Structure 1
Amino acid sequence: MILFFGTRQGKTSLKKLDSISCPYCKQLNTLTLIESSNYFHVFWIKLFKLSSHKIAECSHCKRAYYENEFTHEMKQKTIN
């Protein structure tokens, strides 16, 4: 019997962070939240989530912020 198992990245979701300015370039409404997760799977069926990552990127200055660099306003918007 052959058993296929391993890890695989799930679908990446994009969410616009409205009414928040970029801490670097100070432009308003330019931040996009990118969320991705890794799953454990058996026969290509997702069983449970192993980890998730959040990154905010500014479309004006192209600066990326990891989850530990989020400002208070960015953290509040990602919770909702």
Structure 2
Amino acid sequence: MILFFGTRFGKTVQLPLPHTTCSHCKQLGTLTISKTSNWFHLFWIRIFKISTRMVAECSHCKRVYFEEEFTDEMKQNLIQIQA
């Protein structure tokens, strides 16, 4: 019997943060969160989510923030958007 399994990234979801200030360039409303999940596959069917990665990017200065670098303002606004 042949068994096909592995991992693959899912679709990337982009969420704008309209009321958040970029801590690098101090511009308001220029941040966008990109959220990507990594899935375990069995016969090309998603079975369960392994991990999720979030990255924020400023459209003005192009600064990228990894999830560990999110400010408290970013975290609170992200919670409000997802709720």
State the TM-score bracket (shorter-chain normalisation).
Answer: over 0.9
Identity between Structure 1 and Structure 2 (%): 60
Unaligned runs of 5+ in 2: none
Pairing 1:1-80 to 2, within 5 Å after superposition:
1-79=1-79, 80=82
Gaps of 5+ in 1: none
Q: Distance between the aligned counterparts of 2:75 and 2:20, measured in 1?
A: 11
Q: Secondary structure at the match of 1:41?
A: strand
Task: Indicate the SS of the match to 1:27.
Answer: coil
Shift of 1:39: 0.4
Residue 65 of structure 1 aligns to a residue whose secondary structure is strand
Q: CA deviation at 1:2?
A: 1.6
Q: CA deviation at 1:62?
A: 0.3
Cα distance in 2 for residues equivalent to 1:74 and 1:57: 11
2-structure distance, mates of 1:16, 1:46: 27
The number of equivalent residue pairs is: 80
The Cα RMSD (Å) is 0.8
